[in-house]
Amino acid sequence: MPLTSSASADLTVLDAVERPEPGEWTQTCTAEEIAAQLPLAGEKPYPLAVKANIAVRGLRRSAGCALLDIAPEEADAPVVALLRRSGAVVVGMANMHELAFGITSRNTSYGAVRLPAQPGHSAGGSSGGSAAVVARGHAEVALGTDTGGSISIPASLCGVAGFRPSTGRWPTAGIVGLSWTRDTTGIFARSVRRLAEIDQTVVGGTPEPDLPRPRIGVPAELLRDLHATTRAAIEPALAALAGTVELVPVDLGDVWELSHAAAMPIVCWEARRLLGDVAARALGLNAEQAFARLVAEVRSPDVRQILKAEVASPVSPDQYAVAQRQTDQARACYAELLHKHALDALAFPATPAPAPPVDCDGSVEHLGSRVDAFELYTRNTTPGAMLGAPMVTFPLATPGLPVGLTVQGGRFDDRRTLRLAERMAETLSGTDGQTGG
């Protein structure tokens, strides 16, 4: 049911508002709340879902945590305000993995976010609700956040397009985040072209021109140990792309080692401080007291385990300093890798496997063994997140569960990365870049 800018009393609203899917939202707007936004839209209105850790005026920013689900926000986060100027009308707060600390969006307080077409499977996370409502058609675009793959993973598992901008390129004020080194806001849509339009709304500028024959690196580390469904989608896609881009086999080497070594020390040190500050403001306590209460009252077992581990054995200042140096070294090695091979971007499967079962309890069956689900699904996205690089994910043709291809560019080379991804999506779909869900 489309949005309309009519001021009549019979204003129609989205199915998401009238009949919200269980588990996909933490809060939805009423028809009256949507109608009140419409006169503010300067262009043709479009429905926007916002991940529950991003501030929206008048809605509750719970971050998927019942303890923080206290009061409406007084002001929009800057990224929400920017999208409103292009016609965005917020229809609700999308569910997520509690505190963004996970990849399944199996939320104890608000329900599990399920893959819309196959509800026995997870929509991924932590921005699972945002990807799911776009896949279902209940929002045209949806805001998410990404610390270690939280946009790329659910985009891939839900069969939609997702864009993780370079860290620092989009505003992050007004979010409940985990890492100032790794966090960024980002977006989901039905096509890469729409992602590029939204990016232009947020940061301005002009579209990137086409390159005559782009050179795309294919990292060996990110093609190893793929699920049969993923391999069956990735290999023909790469073969088809070889006609329009030059594919260059590469090894990530030190980029891989350094980024994975630094990942958890960085996020544990920074998350403790960021979450402590957010909880302190919400609960009227000092940061240490507030973090302790958060640890005690967080409801998702996997998130509680991570937070308790940080309390029991906190990352030391020396360990954090080492991780900071490793992050800087990884970024320098990545820039050198792109330069050495004259690469415009990398391309690889967003995840080594398609969507896990919705009741995934921390481990998952993969290639005949039980493996840690978090480590499996963040394996390919952790390096890019640590590098602060732009990552565009779009769905590939597959008869079964969705599989996404990620195009990762140089840091702050977002426009070129979006254009390359759009061109590659067009080549693989044989259309104008519109993707299915």
- Map tokens 């820039």 to a residue: 335
CB of 112 closer than 8 Å to CB of 105: yes
What are the structure tokens assigned to 178, written together? 């985990």
- Is 126 in the active site? yes
- Is 105 in the active site? no
Cα gap 83→41, rounded to integer Å: 9
- Could you tell me which residues come within 8 angstroms of residue 76 by beta carbon, excluding any fewer than 6 positions away? 55, 56, 57, 84, 174
Strands 111-112 and 25-28, sheet pairing: unpaired
CB of 177 closer than 8 Å to CB of 186: no
Q: How far apart are the first and last CA of the chain?
A: 18
Please list the alpha-helical segments (H only) found in 298-381: 301-312, 317-340, 373-378
Task: Kindly state the greatest CA–CA separation across the chain.
Answer: 62
> Which candidate, 437, 431, 357, places its Cα nearest to that of 394?
437
Identify the active-site residue in 122, 130, 150, 429: 150
Identify the active-site residue in 126, 127, 259, 300: 126
Cα gap 108→392, rounded to integer Å: 30
What are the structure tokens assigned to 65, written together? 């945590």
Between vectors from CA 213 to CA 420 and to CA 164, what angle results, nearest 5°? 15
- Return the active site residues: 51, 126, 150
